[in-house]
Amino acid sequence: MKCRVCSKNIESIMSFGSMPIANGFLSLDKFKNEYFFELNTAFCMNCKMFQLVDQPDPKMMFHDSYAFFSSTSRKMEEYFKNVAEHFMNNYLRNTENAFVIEIGCNDGIMLKHISNRGIKHLGIEPSSNVAEVAKQNGVNAITSFFNEETAAYILESNNHADIIFAANVMCHIPDIHSVARSVNLLLKENGIFVFEDPYLGDVLQKTSYDQIYDEHVYLFSVHSITNAFGLNNLEVFHVEPQLTHGGSMRYYLCRRGSKDINISVTKQLKKEKELGLDKFQTFQKFKLNCEQNKNDLIKLLNKLKEDGKRVVGYAATSKSTTILNYCGIDSSLIEYISDTTPIKYGKFTPGSHIPVKSYEEFKKDKPDYAVLFAWNHSNEIFEKECDFLKNGGNWIVFVPEVKILNKETYS
């Protein structure tokens, strides 16, 4: 096996088994033709990149029925408004003819704030249904994958960009070198490329293996980003840890030598050494932790079933697909999963085929336990569903370990 980034040999870490498309929520008549692939992970000792060995065709994951809209979360609305304000106050102030590009703009959750200030912008979104919502939100958007052909098309009628931004997108794109070449083509000489994604260090420390699914072909560290983009004359000049998605990192890149390197980069590289993110033994320990977490969750759900307790799920996420299929959990252990995304209602979870219902059903129902799959939004969810605990309900969480939260144990 060869590394996608540097073409050196990679070391196999673990297999999560046969997996469907993580966001491929489906109707009953689609069961027999459901697509599966082997979800295998590996690590490159040369460039320090954690990666999937195989990934489905991007068109199978991003299309006109994509089932994720960022703006369904109030907290994410606030977060991306602050991201836009950060860019406008710190990087676009007093900039004439400013131009901002966002790769994977989704429903325009960030760019609409740029648009509202009258700043020239463009969103690039491969899923046409969410791109259409972005347009309805006043965002200039095109439906396309980000590559050199798209970059050349953009330049035909636009100036070079001051900022190119991507949130939870870069880890989806297998050809990092194509991205880097496209960024070099579009960016002003002193422009910046900023992106944020789930952080490898947090995944390992929290055993949050649900971050590993088809869309996430990579889990990045500062080491791996430095090595990968360094091959294309781009360097990391600043990093900022984020709380989003259970622990993310925001990377600021520029053309080599165009900006001073912030102390944050040196500090984070040192921390990664201390965490062992450059050592294969760290990933072997991660594998054992994943297996223990899986066994603990299955044991708990089986015990609750034996005791006659009703268990449902909360939030039909892409991440839940990994948990459900890796652990072999189906509707015999979890009755249904409630969600806030209407496009998923009446459908079934990929592979495990658990019914998806609206969150109003959860509020009317009185299950004994609810497995929290959107654990990265736990504060927002616990606030919204406070009556569940008050009325004797129990949350089951599995990050960083499997445990039960009730009105006595939750704080």
pLDDT at 38 over 70: yes
3-state secondary structure of 305: helix
Q: What span, in angstroms and rounded, lies between the C-alpha atoms of 84 and 291?
A: 40
Band the pLDDT of 71: cuts 50, 70, 90. low
User: By C-alpha distance, which of 126, 102, 125 is closest to 113?
Assistant: 102
Bond before 400 cis per omega within 30 degrees: yes
Please determine, for residue 409, whether its predicted confidence score (pLDDT) is greater than 90: no
Query: Which CATH code for domain 55-275?
Result: 3.40.50.150
DSSP 14: E
In this model, does residue 65 exceed pLDDT 80? no
Domain boundaries, the chain: 55-275, 282-405
Residue 293's pLDDT is 98
Which range (48-57, 269-278, 378-387) has the least confidence?
A: 378-387
How far apart CA 121 and CA 115 sit, in angstroms, is 7
Name beta bridge partners: 102.
123, 165
Residue in 130, 2, 20, 23 with CA at minimum distance from that of residue 71: 130
What is the residue whose two structure tokens read 């070099």? 184
The model carries a pTM of: 0.93
The two beta strands, 50-52 and 99-103, are: unpaired
Phi, psi for residue 363 in degrees, rounded to 5:
-65, -35
CA distances to 73, 102, 172, 275, 293 from 135, rounded to whole Å, are 19, 14, 23, 43, 42
Which DSSP letter does residue 128 get?
H
Decide whether 55-275 matches 282-405 in CATH topology: yes
CA dist 306 and 264 (Å) reads 51
- Looking at residue 56, its pLDDT comes to 85
Give the whole-angstrom CA distance, residue 12 versus residue 16: 12
The overall average pLDDT reported for the chain is: 93
Which whole number is the average pLDDT over 105-130? Answer: 93
Query: What are the DSSP calls for 231-276, one per residue?
Result: TTTEEEEEEEEE-GGGSEEEEEEEETTSSPPPHHHHHHHHHHHHHT
Nearest by Cα to 142 from 131, 151, 133, 158: 131
Binned at pLDDT 50, 70 and 90, residue 408 comes out as: confident
Q: Which CATH number fits domain 282-405: 3.30.1490.70, 3.40.50.2300, 3.40.50.720, 3.30.1490.20?
A: 3.40.50.720
Residue 124 has pLDDT above 80, yes or no: yes
Q: Give the three-class secondary structure for 192.
A: strand
Amino acid at 55: Q
**Band of residue 161 on the pLDDT scale cut at 50, 70, 90:** very high
Statement: residue 67 has pLDDT above 70? no
pLDDT band at 141 (very low <50, low <70, confident <90, very high): very high
Rg over CA atoms, the chain:
21
Is residue 405 classed as helix, strand or coil in its secondary structure?
strand
